[in-house]
Structure 1
């Protein structure tokens, strides 16, 4: 209870309450995440249950428009006849799962490599940093497009549709680890010559314990900021790949594949199939980025302005 009271009275919480942009962004992120997590409960329909889908209900307009509408479908339907609101909720859950797990993989690889590179130095540092330079010279989308296209061609679309989430997490996660590695390495280089690290060496503490128990905790602030921004980047990457047909399959749509499925109908009058999921995606990405920018400013006293 005392720790909670200390946290609630901390400068971090005070600045959060004072910043309207942070409050709105955080509220929006929490609302969208809860809506995605509770999709099976709050969604009017189950877009994965084929017995509840009727192709005759396809391309019905939202109920507030003047076109063909149905009170059962608040935001209208997509080309397959699925309720758009339900599909957005389920699709947002898939996008968030891919984004969060891809960032977890990025963080694990990047933090591990950054700690080893910065602490050991020498040839180990040179090898990992040159590897990071090569990785940074290749865009995430280019690497992902080549990898996923080759996988589809080699193993077929049916197997890919079953492993789509795993493949997207793997590709996006591996492609972005240098962001973490460079940041952690810089922090390690600044910390490893300080007195508390020298004292740990003198008493015979193992290098692994020094890195994990003493140096790593001092790198958590930049890792938290990077993770917030990287979740948004991972969701954008997944949406772009799905839009190009290399992401989630049509029967298990993410926000990106849902936008892609309705793009060909946007000029025929069925604009809502693409526009509404696009608005949801923009709101999600923008709120996460704004929250990440606020965290960066607050956790770095040199950048924070009262």
Structure 2
């Protein structure tokens, strides 16, 4: 298939190495991912280990500010619970990335299957599935997430919610965004299903499910891959927004969004670093993903790159 040849061929790396922006964004993104998932190895402290946390260390400024109460153990200062900001950010970024990737995997699975069936079958089934997608799109991601998270917290309490917050956020954000994939895949399938190779597969008697998943689907994956890079960034931002309003990750399980939220109430008292550093990390993470996605979109555009 042309898509897989283009992705795995040497032309991908050739064009990648010719683009400084792609190299820079990929390097930054790789560094952040390695640092976050290697947090148990790189972080000076473990924010989940209560025996290493002292509330008396709360709101200590970064050591390079020269403040009298700065502590050399905490390079970027501490949060309101006394946890080192550097360690907490590394662990929190891992949570944010897991939510982003997990939500995109879920929404892509739902959207691809629905879009593939709708585009290939057509008729009333297509109309029904696309109307469901339109109904889903009428509700914003935040509206769906806020409703489900608030109901879950109200029924089961904050203690139970804390135990299942990661999986619940993946489920909520993933379920809210599947129509983006469904509509894109449907359009691509409708353009592919009447081509000669599909007609040939029908003539030799291949079952419909094999034609859809084995022959048509690989040729519709180019826009899906581009959408996925954007959706990972959107899912991370959705988690941060939900955490900021108290419906995301709890303070005991730090994410970049929950760290920004925890420090927001202390900005007026001078503890600016609690929100600033996680905010910068979130911006850099989102920016590197988006820049890499922009390069991938341009590379996969046949009008710009030709084999």
TM-score range, shorter chain: over 0.9
Corresponding residue for 1:3? none
Q: C-alpha deviations, 1:114-150, integer Å up to 9, x for none?
A: 1000000111100111111111121101111111111
1:290 to 2:306 alignment = no
What RMSD in Å do the two structures reach over aligned CA positions? 1.4
Q: C-alpha deviations, 1:147-174, integer Å up to 9, x for none?
A: 1111111111111111101110000000
Q: C-alpha deviations, 1:172-197, integer Å up to 9, x for none?
A: 00000011111111110000000000
Corresponding residue for 2:225? 224
Residue 66 of structure 1 deviates from its aligned partner by 2.5
Q: C-alpha deviations, 1:234-273, integer Å up to 9, x for none?
A: 0000000001100111111110001000001112111000
Residue 221 of structure 1 deviates from its aligned partner by 1.3
Q: C-alpha deviations, 1:29-88, integer Å up to 9, x for none?
A: 110000011000110000000000001111111111022211110111000000110000
- Tell me the distance in 2 between the aligned counterparts of 1:129 and 1:22: 35
Q: 1:7 to 1:289 in 2, by over 3 A?
A: closer
Q: C-alpha deviations, 1:77-112, integer Å up to 9, x for none?
A: 000000110000000000011110100000100000
1:252 to 2:264 alignment = no
- Tell me the distance in 1 between the aligned counterparts of 2:60 and 2:101: 33
- Tell me the distance in 1 between the aligned counterparts of 2:28 and 2:128: 42
Q: 1:7 to 1:140 in 2, by over 3 A?
A: closer
Give the 3-state SS of the residue equivalent to 2:259 in structure 1. helix
Give the 3-state SS of the residue equivalent to 1:44 in structure 2. coil
- Tell me the distance in 1 between the aligned counterparts of 2:125 and 2:65: 62
Corresponding residue for 1:31? 31
Residue 10 of structure 1 deviates from its aligned partner by 2.6
- Tell me the distance in 2 between the aligned counterparts of 1:285 and 1:160: 27
4+ aligned runs moved over 4 Å, structure 1: 6-9
TM-score normalised according to structure 2 size: 0.95
- Tell me the distance in 1 between the aligned counterparts of 2:232 and 2:299: 19
Structure 1 stretch displaced more, 6-15 or 76-85:
6-15
1:167 to 2:168 alignment = yes
Corresponding residue for 1:266? 267
Give the 3-state SS of the residue equivalent to 1:111 in structure 2. helix
Corresponding residue for 1:41? 41
Is the 1:7–1:13 contact (alpha carbons within 8 Å) kept by the matching residues of 2?
no
Q: C-alpha deviations, 1:193-249, integer Å up to 9, x for none?
A: 000000000100000000111001101211111111100000000000001100111
Q: 1:300 to 1:8 in 2, by over 3 A?
A: closer
Is the 1:47–1:83 contact (alpha carbons within 8 Å) kept by the matching residues of 2?
yes
- Tell me the distance in 2 between the aligned counterparts of 1:265 and 1:38: 29
The gaps in structure 1 that reach 5 residues or longer are: 1-5
Corresponding residue for 1:76? 77
Residue 9 of structure 1 deviates from its aligned partner by 7.1
The gaps in structure 2 that reach 5 residues or longer are: 1-5
